Structure 1
């Protein structure tokens, strides 16, 4: 008797996934809940485990190929429910098979996050010597191998002429999904971006004050997320999703704010769900947790799904403005940029030095016109320039 493991519908409208890494081969004897493969959807990396123990008699597809909902991932021969529970003589035969297979595969032992890190650097894990028990490879092992391999490249050119050749990097995994999403966004949505500058000296002082009364590492982003939830309540057309099939705009009553996180694999957008119901401190804590998960590859599909509005930051070293790309099916995205000191007109009408931040609001011009954009930006600037006004809406 065999058991076909099917690729199931994992929700959020996801119907396909790219095979990133196989952890088993045909002929392997596997255990229940053993990791079978790692796939990449357009939302996240997902690990699939086996619900049965037995012998793998079929395996679908190669790394880089697609799986579709309903496809058979593997077929497991599980006579008497499990081949593991056979007489000792057969167990010995199976063990011999496993040893033979293991020699052929020369499998490396490394966590999925380490494998992702190695792929981002172009390192073949079979070339890396693991420092942990049973030869398990860590990120530090990969980094040390990479650093050593790239040390003194000019000196190595004579012995390794291949170093002078062009490098081709396959577009796959998360980068492939980003490629597809950006292509869809660019060629489907008529993007228009409004830009403005806002003086942030009051915001800087506001954060400094909060820092004195919390143990949480507090950046500006949690505060801005809280501002945005209030701005979206006043401007509901921006907290919306577009149903293109039915030609309907869905005004969302939940305020689920996505924020971009840069990882070795690319940009991931975790979501703070029900942000309007959380304090700045709670948002900050959740952001730290989600950032760690995103960078370690352990973030779940739920944690990056369901966003209604997104904020992107170009960081301290970024420029003054940008044109952020909208995440379908959302209708707008806010970009916040580097804070820089500039000459400003003070309340006394004198020229002084102030800290200025650029903001960029990209919006779907099929759904949103210029006038509501101006109001959105004004409402946001009011909160940033007078952050204490947030208290007026606190219940």
Structure 2
């Protein structure tokens, strides 16, 4: 018997939460198979099997808080690596007792009448598959009983499922091209489910690479789709003359750097301008809770940062109480943590409004997606010289930036959103007002 123990996960981390078990009691695992995911305030960690065997007992469940060194499950090592054990309730049952237990629905065999070998193998096939094989089979809509490609002990691995899928796709494709008929078709092709369009792509001769999405990318994808599905999202645009801010940065940048040991960037100006506009139009600093509106009287501004594994939005807390130097310092520290994957969960939670800057990558205009449950997000873009009419007789080339406000139309009216964005524009074009309004 081998215990599954919560490992040490770095300094200052004494506990974690079981995010998700990937196996169930009675399932066979091989050395290296992922057993579960642990979530902490700083890192997410996958725990893998350290031996071949069967999950004998799961002691702590999804959502439980566990301590470092705590036993959360047990693996029963067997005579054959990776062979699934039949289980009844919480206790292993020997094979010669004429009973095969499936994952959820037991199937008793009449005493004194041994089952056919093929039938017994089909009944236990789910238990004899590795977790990665079961997951791939679910994704491709394949019943494991249909997978004939197995090892000598009847075990099914990810490669066996993949081979089955490719064979089935090839047979269905040949049948569709008129090169095969039902009369002489392989029973495997008849039993296999009709593959999706994606499966046909997998079987294509064109070169391609399949990569699994990271947990962060999966989370980002789900949240963005959820935002578009649940919010009545609309975007309004304006443009900002950046002449005054560029002039201040040119004159003050060196002195600011020497005094505060931090660069005077654009984000502190935009953060201050957003805070000032939020004070004037508080519904942009709110969220919807059922049939209620929660208007927040604090200003925790999320700053979108592009990291290797995907976009993250760390939060600058109480931005209304911070000076330019402290805002720039916090944004720099949070961005550094994001790119080195050292952000804590607390640094990513609880923002009231978000700013995203696509301009650093050259974006001229975009429609940012809400960072739910927030109801507003401001998009910054590339500064570009454009001819601007100063009056009816004068034109000048000015450094201009398009800005975009996406908002939730369920609680923010169009007129309020437009006036909010105009307020941001006016504060940025008159930076001295930021000292009073921001």
Q: By the TM > 0.5 criterion, same fold?
A: yes
Give distance in 2, aligned partners of 1:71 and 1:60.
21
Partner of 2:236: 194
Is the aligned partner of 1:251 residue 2:251?
no
* Cα contact 2:287–2:294 (8 A) shared by 1: yes
1:294 and 1:370, CA in 2 relative to 1: closer, same or farther beyond 3 A?
Answer: same
Partner of 1:267: 311
Partner of 1:294: 338
If the length of structure 1 is used for normalisation, what is the TM-score? 0.62
Give the counterpart of 1:220 among 266, 279, 285: 266
Give distance in 2, aligned partners of 1:18 and 1:284.
40
* Cα contact 1:59–1:74 (8 A) shared by 2: no
Partner of 1:233: 279
Runs of 5+ unmatched residues, structure 1? 20-24, 29-35, 50-54, 62-66, 78-162
**Secondary structure in structure 2 of the residue aligned to 1:180:** helix
Partner of 1:169: 211
Give distance in 2, aligned partners of 1:385 and 1:59.
64
Is the aligned partner of 1:306 residue 2:356?
no
1:301 and 1:349, CA in 2 relative to 1: closer, same or farther beyond 3 A?
Answer: farther
1:175 and 1:379, CA in 2 relative to 1: closer, same or farther beyond 3 A?
Answer: same
Shift of 1:200: 0.9
Shift of 1:39: 4.8
1:4 and 1:253, CA in 2 relative to 1: closer, same or farther beyond 3 A?
Answer: farther
Give distance in 2, aligned partners of 1:321 and 1:301.
31
Shift of 1:286: 0.8
Give the counterpart of 2:62 among 68, 78, 88: 68
1:172 and 1:238, CA in 2 relative to 1: closer, same or farther beyond 3 A?
Answer: same
Give distance in 2, aligned partners of 1:229 and 1:60.
55
Partner of 2:376: 332
**Secondary structure in structure 1 of the residue aligned to 2:256:** coil
* Cα contact 1:3–1:76 (8 A) shared by 2: yes
Q: Tell me the alpha carbon deviations over residues 26-70 of structure 1, each in whole angstroms, 9 at most, x when there is no partner.
A: 999xxxxxxx986579x9743589xxxxx9999799xxxxx8313
Structure 1 runs of 4+ off > 6 angstroms?
1-6, 25-28, 55-61
Q: Tell me the alpha carbon deviations over residues 176-207 of structure 1, each in whole angstroms, 9 at most, x when there is no partner.
A: 00110011011111210001111111111122
Give the counterpart of 1:282 among 319, 323, 326: 326
Is the aligned partner of 1:319 residue 2:363?
yes
Runs of 5+ unmatched residues, structure 2? 7-12, 23-28, 76-204
Give distance in 1, aligned partners of 2:317 and 2:226.
25
1:349 and 1:58, CA in 2 relative to 1: closer, same or farther beyond 3 A?
Answer: farther
* Cα contact 1:4–1:74 (8 A) shared by 2: yes
Structure with max Cα Rg = 2
* Cα contact 2:19–2:38 (8 A) shared by 1: no
Give the counterpart of 1:373 among 407, 413, 417: 417
1:27 and 1:250, CA in 2 relative to 1: closer, same or farther beyond 3 A?
Answer: same
**Secondary structure in structure 2 of the residue aligned to 1:68:** coil
Give distance in 1, aligned partners of 2:39 and 2:359.
27
* Cα contact 2:20–2:37 (8 A) shared by 1: no
Q: Tell me the alpha carbon deviations over residues 332-357 of structure 1, each in whole angstroms, 9 at most, x when there is no partner.
A: 11101000000012268511111110
If the length of structure 2 is used for normalisation, what is the TM-score? 0.56
Partner of 1:124: none
Give the counterpart of 1:204 among 235, 246, 251: 246
**Secondary structure in structure 1 of the residue aligned to 2:359:** coil
Partner of 1:46: 44
Larger RCO: Structure 1 or Structure 2 (Cα < 8 Å, ≥ 6 residues apart)?
A: 1
